[in-house]
Structure 1
Amino acid sequence: MVTRRTFNREFKLEAVRLVRERGVAVTQAARDLDVHENVLRKWVREQKSDPQHAFPGQGLMKPEQAEIERLKRENAKLKMERDILKKGRGLFRQGVDVKYGFVAKHRGAWPIGMMCEALGVSRSGFYAWRSRPRSQRSRDDERLGQQARQSFLDSDRTYGARRVWRDVLEAGSRCGLHRIERLLRMQALRARPRRRGLPVDRGDRSGGAIAPNLLDRQFQAPAPNQKWVADFTYLWTAEGWLFVAVVLDLYSRRAVGWSMQSQMTAQLVTDALMMAIWRRGQPVALLHHSDRGSQYTSDRFRRLLDELGITCSMSRSGNCWDNSAMESFFKSLKTERTDGKVYRTRADAKADVFDYIERFYNSRRRHSTIGYVSPLQFEQQMQLA
């Protein structure tokens, strides 16, 4: 009997983002994610028609929910008008050139007509302003902005305004520090932040919740869904830490489950395990191995293992070698993808990690442990053997 595959909402949203935002063809994305092309097209249509409530699960939207959506749209319009006035509140005493500059800068965020009306200028005047010859100061800003950007990139994104300013002065241009600060800010160029202190796991570990090391560094499995290893790591973004939990099947080294959240809670590792169950089906005899983090020793996670009939195994205290297969995966993730990158938002980091796991690591990356084929290819070969 063929078990119907199930995908959770997080997987569907990232798959749709892959097509709509990252420009990957539906056919290629479906092949990389190991889903049917028509299923992926359906997900794209559903998310496009209702981004806020796509993939809600079973059931349809009720009439009162539709009315709520209508009110939300009206509220969004009012909020947009409020945001324009809030953002441009310092412009009402400025000349029309400053106001038109504000409209030009933010025309990708708000409708031009709405901004012109809020600022008390005409839309036709804005288009006429755009056709006028540029001022000398505007041309100087463009030239200095290019020099500042080149200095910033040459420093591997480590220079702040003061060092960039000195590079610009050395190149022969004359300007003030505040001007360089403004030009960098306009281009959203921000020096790489200092490395933050690593997050500390302050969760309580109950002595009775610690499981013995049943895996005992036996990182080979004769068949799928017999030995899973799990752990989580963290990535820094401009919005704060992003925690990434992953479950690997030691049979093929395939990442069968993952979850990404802003906090390292029991829910993080639980969601990763549930994705693995949804994708692989409930196993008959499975050993789940992890470290002794409070997320894995929590009552919630241990009860889930008991309900699913999964045997729990844990590494010895402070011994990373007992879960070296998982450590190797995270080393590959960071070395091959995330190291050296500056993520502005957690969503950017999630999209990049999703791309690495589902489009590269599982489907294309050659893994030395399984004969230099990808985990997906290895499983397909074993099915045909």
Structure 2
Amino acid sequence: MTRRVFSREFKQEAVELVTERGVSAAQASRDLGIHATVLRRWIRAAEANGSGVFPGHGKLTPDQEELRSLRREVSKLKAERDNLKKGRGLLRQGPAMMFGFVAKHRGVWPVSWMCDALGVSRSGFHAWLARPRSDRSLRDEKLSAAIRSSFLRSDRTYGARRVWHDLLEEGYSCGLHCVERLMRHNAFRARPKRRQPPKDQGTRSVIAANVLEREFEASGPNQKWVADFTYIWTAEGWLYVAAVIDLFSRRVVGWSMSDQMTSQMVIDALIMAIWRRGRPQELLHHSDQGSQYTSEPFQRLMTDHGITCSMSRSGNVWDNAAMESFFSSLKTERVRRKTYRTRKQARVDVFDYIERFYNPKRRHSTIGYLSPMTFEERAMKA
């Protein structure tokens, strides 16, 4: 819709029609085909400025001209302030970074304002804009896209080292420090783990000795399993999650979830592991001294399958550090980022984390930054 433009004479006649000829503003606006609010604004302007009102030909009254100038100056000062706030970190990184900032925000503020605020020349900016991009810039753009893809595939949990291994597997040739630099530049930051050193104290179990003795490595699958359970809060109450991990590949071979902390929960996790791994022989099973693991049904299950029992010292989480590490990853990378309304929602999410991310995809530093399933597949081919 084209904006209507009125001449100075038209405005004056319209004002006189109301102020001198006694026609109401509402009637005059209808007769002239203009909005009553516009006509009243003209009348107020005529009363305030007298003969100097409606200068015409784009001219303004002295007061209007001063007001426009002041508004322009305020806008420029605000833009310079915002430029300095957003571009403060660029001042130590050279003209190229500042020119990039100007190019990115030229749709927000005038180029001249940003160049003045950052202390660079407009001619230099336009020369930089017309200059062909460097090979490094093009390479960084391509790597940044691959880094973003890896970071998002991990549900924003991967740090630079795991992303780097993803890139190497995809055929990119780059160093770890390059990935770290580009992740900082693009603000890709993994969620940090909450680390609090536990107290290293406790007494020996009366059920079984600590046969594992913190030897968290195995030369082959189904030699050493570690087990424990944790709890996840939902709006319906606690959901308890039990898991069994094979120390050879750090794969979760058995798991179970329940709304009650019973021995049946850990029994179900162990039965799943036995079923999945084909009734392994000469197996060591390590857990803490919880009543679920010392219960008669659980101990009988291990005896029936010829499994050697090993237990941590009471109150000592270091003796089962591999299991604690898994639960820490589960909560940091998935659970603490969610709010579960029901236990079913939590079950679905834990299942998704274990079976669709942790086992088949998540890179584990202990096994050469491979996923547990990939590590086992390569070991079988070797």
TM-score grouping bracket, smaller chain normalisation: 0.3 to 0.5
TM-score, length basis structure 1? 0.46
Task: Please say which structure displays the higher CA radius of gyration.
Answer: 2
TM-score, length basis structure 2? 0.46
Q: Which has the higher contact order (CA 8 A, sep 6+)?
A: 1
